[in-house]
Structure 1
């Protein structure tokens, strides 16, 4: 299992909530931060999660694919943030 999804599951985040998070990430990355805040994950685990993503950004693609979502939308959202 993808380490991002494993951390989410460890904190009782359902597959549906994970899909919602990644869907929000693709549509409005800034709003995704609010969704993450509502999941109730302790700050130290969020730090660990961010460290994983920063060390290996490909984990996001793997998580998106594991959830059956379209990674091209994540790339589009990323480009939108960089503008």
Structure 2
């Protein structure tokens, strides 16, 4: 299991909420951060989660593929942020 998804599940985040987070990542990464902040994950685990994402962005791609979402939308959102 993807470590991002594992941390979310460890904190009783439902599959629907996980899908919402990654759906938001594919459309608007800043919105996804807001959603993640509302999940009630303790700050130290949230920091660990963000560290994983920052050190290994490929984990997002793996999680998106594991959830069956479209990674090309994530890439498009990332390109939009770089502008």
Q: Which TM-score band (shorter chain)?
A: over 0.9
Give the TM-score taking structure 2 as reference length: 0.94
User: Which consecutive unaligned segments of at least 5 residues does structure 2 have?
Assistant: none
Partner residue of 1:17? Answer: 17
Residues 4-43 of structure 1 deviation map (CA, whole Å, 9 limit, x = unaligned): 0000000001111111011111112111121011111111
CA RMSD of aligned residues (A): 0.9
Q: Partners of 2:63 and 2:79 in 1: how far apart? A: 19
Q: Partners of 1:52 and 1:34 in 2: how far apart? A: 17
Partner residue of 2:32? Answer: 32
Q: Partners of 2:36 and 2:3 in 1: how far apart? A: 16
User: The residue matched to 1:40 in structure 2 has which SS?
Assistant: coil
Stretches of 4+ moved more than 3 A in 1? none
Q: Partners of 1:24 and 1:57 in 2: how far apart? A: 16
Q: Partners of 2:56 and 2:29 in 1: how far apart? A: 19
Give the TM-score taking structure 1 as reference length: 0.94
